[in-house]
Structure 1
Amino acid sequence: MSDTTVDRRPRVAVFRPADERIDDAVALLESLGADPVADPMLAVESTGAVPRDAPLVVLTSKTGVELAAAAGWNPGDATLTAIGPATARAAREVGWSVDVVPDEYTSAGLVTALESRVADERVEVARSDHGSDVLLDGLREAGATVTETVLYRLARPSGTGESAELAAAGDLDAAAFTSSLTVEHFLDAAAERGVRDAAIAGLDAAVVGAIGPPTAETAADHGIDVDIVPDDAEFEALATAVINATTE
């Protein structure tokens, strides 16, 4: 955890997708008193696919909702499950009713919320190309017939890695990772710039936040110590917790 002085705003790296979400994240961090380093580690590439019809449909992101809605898809009479509040909110904003939101906003949380109701049921999971096998395997073990539709791919934008160089130089006070893929892309960008090991060492002296346990586990697997995992797996909770920790 790095030291910050009262007259300097903590420099915080944020890795949201390269769209309005990185802009919103920067605005939020500034409102919390941070000096954001916008280093988007994700770019969304739509596949043009839509969810298959099924009695129960699972959507795992706000992006998936928006792409499916833009393509004209509607859940109809399906039981619609959203992985968390942000996804549910996006679904309601396009006029869909959301039937299930798990208590834990993870693939494991979805399995726990659905396992008692999916035996001998067809379940469609619509998500990115980097979805966890935990969800598919868990639903199948609960007796469901599961199909998966990839709505979009997640790529690393070109030119990323400014935050890695700052971390390597000891000039980063905090980092807020919002998915396992942001961790992996951060390290890939650091490696491209020849500072992978130095960036990991630099993060040891910073506050590192992960949006949920799976992201924290990925970071730990790559040698990054995580200081903050908020109770709510939403960016606002993550950002607030990270900023609070930099001033303690």
Structure 2
Amino acid sequence: MTTRDTTVAVFRPDDERLRDAVELIESLGATPVPDPMLEVRETGASPRTDADYTILTSKTGAELARETGWEPGTTTVCAIGSATADALRGEGYEVDVVPEEFTSSGLVETLADRVDGARVEVARSDHGSEVLLDGLEAAGAYVHETVLYQLVRPEGAGESAELAAAGELDAACFTSSLTVENFLAAAEARGVRAEAVDGLADAVVGVIGEPTRETAEDEGVAVDVVPENAEFDELACGVVERAAPTYHD
């Protein structure tokens, strides 16, 4: 198989993230199959302003914090990874803490010896990992969660599941446990869940992070690629290379 013939499903929300993903897949010489599995619905809530530490976990959260007029004041602003940190800076916020490991557990490890007795605000989606809240509470923090937005499966999602069921999907890039769950729900809605899972067994499946790997494997989806860093670019490059290796003299 040549790289050009390789079909790669991407599930990012239908905004610049999906457009960037499609552009990247094309630049790698593969054929993207854009099939958004997440749709953002804003709640209108804003992060609290009385916390010692405020954690944001996504680019969407950074943008919504600015839209609601949130100002950090004296709080220590924490980003779960470099992409979130870049988004916060792009919105005019200073970022004080970014963990070396871009995961909930990585952030807990970074903050564990600092937050005993502190008020910690976690501003994120309605599908955030409990690892973050539980870990901070275990470290002695008083944790409050604000749901900035809800993540739902878009109407009409599932083209990639049909392709997988037909054996016409070569690779897939899952960026969260919820994208895995929504892919399977979309396949179920189209009556091809078992066939889609079988099709993924013959494809290259890439995921961001161990929690996403665990979700996929619990649902019977074998995982082939987990990038060292939780970044979509690294995921996509690893998946395309695995699906259609390029060889150099």
Report SS of the residue matched to 2:221.
coil
Map 1:226-237 to 2 at 5 A: 226-237=223-234
Q: For residues 145 and 71 of structure 1, what CA distance do their matches in structure 2 show?
A: 24
Match of 1:131 in 2: 128
Q: For residues 218 and 142 of structure 1, what CA distance do their matches in structure 2 show?
A: 26
Report SS of the residue matched to 1:236.
helix
> 1:147-172 deviations in whole A, cap 9, x for unaligned?
00000000110001010010011100
Q: For residues 106 and 85 of structure 2, what CA distance do their matches in structure 1 show?
A: 15
Q: Does 1:213 align with 2:210?
A: yes
One-letter code aligned to 1:32: L
Q: For residues 106 and 221 of structure 2, what CA distance do their matches in structure 1 show?
A: 24
Match of 2:14 in 1: 18
Map 1:56-205 to 2 at 5 A: 56-205=53-202
Out of 25, 30, 37, which is 2:33 matched to?
37
Aligned pair count?
244
Report SS of the residue matched to 1:239.
helix
The percentage of counterpart residues that share the same residue type is: 64
One-letter code aligned to 1:14: V
Q: For residues 51 and 71 of structure 1, what CA distance do their matches in structure 2 show?
A: 9
> 1:88-144 deviations in whole A, cap 9, x for unaligned?
001111121111111111111111111010000000000000011111111000000
Map 1:235-246 to 2 at 5 A: 235-246=232-243
Report SS of the residue matched to 1:118.
coil
Cα shift at 1:70: 1.2
- TM-score w.r.t. length of structure 1: 0.97
Deviates more, 1:211-220 or 1:147-156: 211-220
> 1:152-202 deviations in whole A, cap 9, x for unaligned?
000110001010010011100000001100000000000001100110000
Match of 1:50 in 2: 46
- TM-score w.r.t. length of structure 2: 0.96
Q: For residues 55 and 67 of structure 1, what CA distance do their matches in structure 2 show?
A: 20
Cα shift at 1:19: 1.5
Q: For residues 28 and 66 of structure 2, what CA distance do their matches in structure 1 show?
A: 33
One-letter code aligned to 2:73: G
- 4+ residue runs of structure 1 moved beyond 3 angstroms? none
Report SS of the residue matched to 1:12.
strand
